[in-house]
A and B are shown apart, each in its own frame.
Chain A
């Protein structure tokens, strides 16, 4: 069993096999709404721009199980949305990433790499824990996806190498990505 055994529908409704990504380094990430303030989209796009020629692909899975926002980013109200989330990497159809209804890919990823806690040094860690306790206390239990922008790094052979919580900004993944490229 590997990530290449899964298929998913793109945001244009086409069924895509992840086997198409064999030989690439992948970031698989559950993403938030295309409306509002979401810096991690921008940072993921920056990683993509920097490393796509060396073999990095990013696969975004939009999900609204977490209140449609990036943690701690709702201070600024914006009244617009971005086409294709403002990114050029592959976006898949909106769906669930945790619980019974989760996409099988995310069930697999969260079994492969367990939850090891948030990076408490990150400014959003405290806010995120607070928000989870207040709204989704059950999400704190177990290894399921905790919030938007949980990132899984996959090597060129399809092994799930590392899990990064929402408290790791994409730019801080660069060292780990470079090791695999």
Chain B
């Protein structure tokens, strides 16, 4: 399952979620402002507290709303 690390007021997180939906990708949202466990995971993965962070395997990740990188990581066709 694809995970999207997010915070509550974050236009870029919203864009990522909308984009994934439009591509039919199922994802689980993990809010790092309201859940300390998710915050720790996100920091471990990306080394910072920036969002959105998107990962499929918990190792490779994309930071920010970057369609090209998301397509590549998730194997989506344009």
Contact = CB atoms under 8 A, between A and B. Distances in A.
Given A34-B9, A35-B10, A86-B49, A80 B39 contact: no
Nearest to A62: B9
A81 B39 contact: no
Interface centre among A35, A78, A86 (most CB of B within 10 A): A35
A81 B52 CA distance: 7
A90 to B, nearest CB: 15
B12 A35 contact: yes
Given A35-B11, A35-B12, A80 B50 contact: yes
Q: How large is the interface on A (under 10, 10 to 19, 20 to 34, 35 or more residues)?
A: 10 to 19
Contacts of B49: 82-84, 86
Interface in B1-45: 7, 9-13, 15, 32-33, 39
Contacts of B7: 34, 81, 83
The 3 closest A-B pairs by CB, nearest first: A79-B64, A83-B49, A80-B64
Nearest to A83: B49
Given A35-B10, A35-B11, A83 B51 contact: yes
Nearest to A68: B11
Nearest to A12: B33
Interface of A: 34-35, 78-84, 86
B9 A80 contact: no
B73 interface: no
Contacts of A84: 33, 49
Nearest to B53: A80
Contacts of A34: 7, 9-10
B55 to A, nearest CB: 14
A81 B65 contact: no
Contacts of A86: 49-50
Nearest to B7: A83
B13 A79 contact: no
A65 to B, nearest CB: 16
B69 to A, nearest CB: 10
B57 interface: no
24 contacts: A34-B7, A35-B10, A35-B11, A35-B12, A78-B64, A79-B12, A79-B64, A79-B65, A79-B66, A80-B50, A80-B63, A80-B64, A80-B65, A81-B9, A81-B10, A81-B11, A81-B12, A81-B50, A81-B51, A82-B50, A83-B39, A83-B50, A84-B49, A86-B50
